[in-house]
Amino acid sequence: MEDQAIWYLENIDVTGIFCPKKLGDQVNDHTAKAYKKGEYIYMPDQSSDKVFFLTEGRVKIGTYSDTGKEITKAILGKGEVFGELSLIGEGVRRDFAYVMEPTKVCMVNSSEMKSLLKDHNGLSMFIMKIMGSRVLEMENRLESLVFKDSRSRIVEYLVDSVNKRGQRVGYEWVVRKFITHQEIANLTATSRQTVTTVLNELRASNLITFNRKRLLVRDLEALTKEIA
């Protein structure tokens, strides 16, 4: 299975638009920047005036509840775009963008991006696909919260990870850069203790093995059946 993180790059050179080799007169509108692990690219209430293209590393998009609890909305990798809500009227950020490992991004001012959208039909479709896919993903997560128990949501996350980023190795599937138990809990609206319990049960059943660097799914079909 191919990495689906850059599925939308097939028909348009998005890299060339966000990170042009020769900036020319657009030097003020395009910026490349590197971030260290643990830094924030932006925080809630900061000005929302740029769109970001992730060329290397991983970024977590999330927010905080009124009680200060962290809610993870997405974990993005190479080839993905974020901060796109600035294009549809978001004045200040509602989310944060946290750097999970050494990361590089190219960024474009929202005003310049709007001009580019007028000139590139393919780019407009690209942005629409991003927004549409994220709306669908959030709807699916909301349905899971309403209709599925904690264990099912955790197992569903594992299956989705394989479908999106898994690589087949014989009869097994490997997902590299496996996230922490706490991150899974934040994504599935469960607790870290519940995640640990479920993962250990699945490992005891010989369905998965895991460590800090990877998840190995031994039987994807059997794991899928674990979703209630």
Q: Which of 117, 146, 175 is the last residue of a domain?
A: 146
Alpha helices in 108-149 (DSSP H): 110-119, 121-147
Dihedral class, residue 170 (left if φ above 0, else alpha if ψ from -120 to 50, else beta): left
**Bridge partners, 105 (sequence order):** 33, 54
Task: Name 65's Cβ contacts closer than 8 Å, sequence gap at least 6.
Answer: 71
Q: What's the pLDDT score for residue 98?
A: 97
Q: What's the pLDDT score for residue 4?
A: 41
Tokens coding 146? 């309403």
Judgement on whether residues 136 and 209 belong to the same structural domain of the protein: no
Q: Which of 129, 146, 163 is the last residue of a domain?
A: 146
Residue 44 is part of a domain; what is its CATH number? Answer: 2.60.120.10
For the ranges 16-20, 21-25, 58-62, 101-105, the lowest mean pLDDT is seen at: 21-25
Judgement on whether residues 118 and 161 belong to the same structural domain of the protein: no
Judgement on whether residues 109 and 183 belong to the same structural domain of the protein: no
Domain that holds residue 37: 4-146
Judgement on whether residues 15 and 43 belong to the same structural domain of the protein: yes
Reported as a single tens digit per residue, the pLDDT across 79-119 is 889 999 888 888 899 999 999 999 999 998 988 888 888 88
Judgement on whether residues 155 and 93 belong to the same structural domain of the protein: no
Judgement on whether residues 158 and 85 belong to the same structural domain of the protein: no
Residue 204 is part of a domain; what is its CATH number? Answer: 1.10.10.10
Reported as a single tens digit per residue, the pLDDT across 167-222 is 999 999 999 999 999 999 999 999 999 999 999 999 999 999 999 889 999 999 99
Q: Is pLDDT of 7 > 90?
A: no
Residue 28's pLDDT band (boundaries 50, 70, 90)?
A: low
Judgement on whether residues 32 and 103 belong to the same structural domain of the protein: yes
pTM for this prediction: 0.78
Q: Which of 98, 119, 146 is the last residue of a domain?
A: 146
Judgement on whether residues 142 and 152 belong to the same structural domain of the protein: no
Sign of torsion, CA 178 183 189 193?
positive
